[in-house]
Amino acid sequence: MAKAAAYRLPTDRPHVMGILNVTPDSFSDGGRHAVAETAIAHAKAMIAQGADILDVGGESTRPGSDPVSLDVEWSRLDPILDKVIALGTPVSIDTYKAEIARRACAAGAVIVNDVWGLQKDPAMADTVAEAGVHVVMMHNRPQADAGLDILADIDRFFETSMQLAERAGIAKDKQILDPGFGFGKTIDQNFIVLNRFETLKKHGLPLLAGASRKRMIGAVLQAETADRLYGSMAVHMTAMLKGASIVRAHDVGPHADCVRMLEATLLERNPT
């Protein structure tokens, strides 16, 4: 656990979290990296393109996906996790199951990315605290409700997640919030969240934005999943300008370029 204890999320600039799905049914890249050799090669490519963090997932968490057992999820992760961690870039485990998180952190993962914000598995908060790792606490709902005040709902959810983290002993500087673009929200609600993204800073924690290739982009651009790169970059650049510390993306290289241009602009320095 020494590596987890030593890791601190840098605050000098937004960071790019590259997505590594080892699943057959993820909405964007399901099945593409399910073979260990392919997954490792993709991880290396993302690092070369500028990934600051690799987010590894063994179960699709897209809305409407079928849940898988702990054993199935781990069987997808086990052949590749040690090898990805050995590449030296900080690794996040994308899971809402405490036992998967425990195993991944024991292997060297330094972030748990929980799409249910510590509220799905009652053992998750204690597991994260014991491992001494960072945690991404994402807002989620079982289904969208068009009549809901989505920002108020996110605030309530975050308060519950932060209380669970505090009671378990997760240090404040290891907590990260994610409003959950595409999860339990209508298209309009996703854009309300984006337009008010800066208001989420009131919770006093780093913010993650993860809209890569999502339906909210396809709805505006009338573009299929594979053709949503530019829309993803537009959403993420907006979120970074409004305070996002991390953007979670399939296309690492273009997003790393966005970060460099944003950094140069905000520091008013010559990028050359």
* Catalytic site residue from 97, 102, 213, 214: 214
248 is an active site residue: yes
How far apart CA 212 and CA 19 sit, in angstroms, is 9
How far apart CA 217 and CA 212 sit, in angstroms, is 8
214 is an active site residue: yes
- Which position has the token pair 């999820």? 73
Which ranges constitute the DSSP H helices of 140-207?
A: 150-168, 187-195
Q: How far is CA 231 from the centre of its chain?
A: 18
Q: Which of 149, 106, 156 is nearest to 137 (CA)?
A: 156
Query: Taking a C-beta distance cutoff of 8 angstroms, is the pair 42, 20 a contact?
Result: yes
Backbone angles phi, psi at 16, to 5 degrees: -100, 120
Residues catalogued as catalytic: 214, 248
